[in-house]
A = this chain, B = another copy of it.
Amino acid sequence: MTDLAKHPQLSPSAYVVLGMILLGRRSGYEIKQTVEMSIRFFWTISPAQIYPSLQMLEHGGLIRGKNDPRGRLPRKSFTVTRAGKSAFEQWLLAAEELPFELRDVGLLKLFFADLAGADQAVKLLETIGNRSEARIVQLQVIRRAADSIATDEGYSFPLATLRLGIAYHKAIVEECGIIRRELTARIRQTGRR
C-alpha cells in the first residue's frame, strides 16, 4: 500500500487498465477487447502496454492477479484491491486539467490547401467529411454494444461518450459541407468572370 508513494502519478493508460478491471474485465486480453469496442476512438492502448501495466499495477498493490487457465491455455485473472479502487476514484474525481490532444493529418493538409488547386481543396474537404461520416457509422455500430452494456451491466456512461463522438463528427460533416459549398460557389464565380 505504501507502494502507492512510489507511483505518485500513474499514466492515464494505467488508469484505463485499472478502470477496465473495475468494470469486470479480468484478463489483459479482455481489457484489450473492451478497449477496441468502446474507448478506442479517444484512447488506444496496445497489448505491449497492457501487460507491463498489469505487472506494474500488481507490483504497486493496486490489483491482484492469480493464474486462471482455460484448460491448458494460460490466463491470469485480476481483481482490484481496496488501494486500487481508492486510487482510481481519486483520479476520477481529481480537479486536474483534462488533457485533450488531437493529431489530424486531414486538417493539416487542409491548412496548407492554398498551396494546391481549389479543386484539390474541394476534394480534401470531401475526404475529411467522408471520413467523419464513416466514423459515425462505426460509432453507431458500437452503440449497440454500449446499449447492451448499459442494460446488462448497468453502465450508462459509455453511451454518453459515444453520443459525444457522434455529435462531434456530425458537426464536422456539416461544416465541411458548408465550406465546400462556399468554395465551389466561389470557383464558379471566378470561372465565369
Contact = CB atoms under 8 A, between A and B. Distances in A.
Interface residues of A, number: 62
A85 to B, nearest CB: 9
Interface of A: 12, 15-16, 19, 22-23, 38-39, 41-44, 88-89, 91-93, 98-116, 120-121, 125, 127-128, 131, 135, 154-158, 160-161, 163-165, 167-168, 170-172, 174-176, 179
A99 B93 CA distance: 32
23 contacts: A19-B111, A22-B112, A39-B107, A43-B107, A89-B115, A89-B116, A93-B120, A98-B127, A100-B106, A100-B135, A107-B164, A110-B161, A111-B161, A112-B157, A114-B154, A114-B155, A114-B156, A125-B160, A128-B164, A163-B179, A164-B175, A164-B176, A167-B174
A163 to B, nearest CB: 6
A105 B12 contact: yes
A108 B157 contact: no
A150 to B, nearest CB: 9
A109 B131 contact: no
A155 B109 CA distance: 13
Given A102-B101, A155-B114, A108 B175 contact: no
A102 B41 contact: yes
How many protomers of this protein does the assembly include?
A: 2
Contacts of A121: 157
> Which one of A15, A92, A111 has the greatest number of beta carbons of chain B within 10 Å?
A111
Contacts of A99: 103-105
Contact of A104 (B100, B107, B112, B125): B100
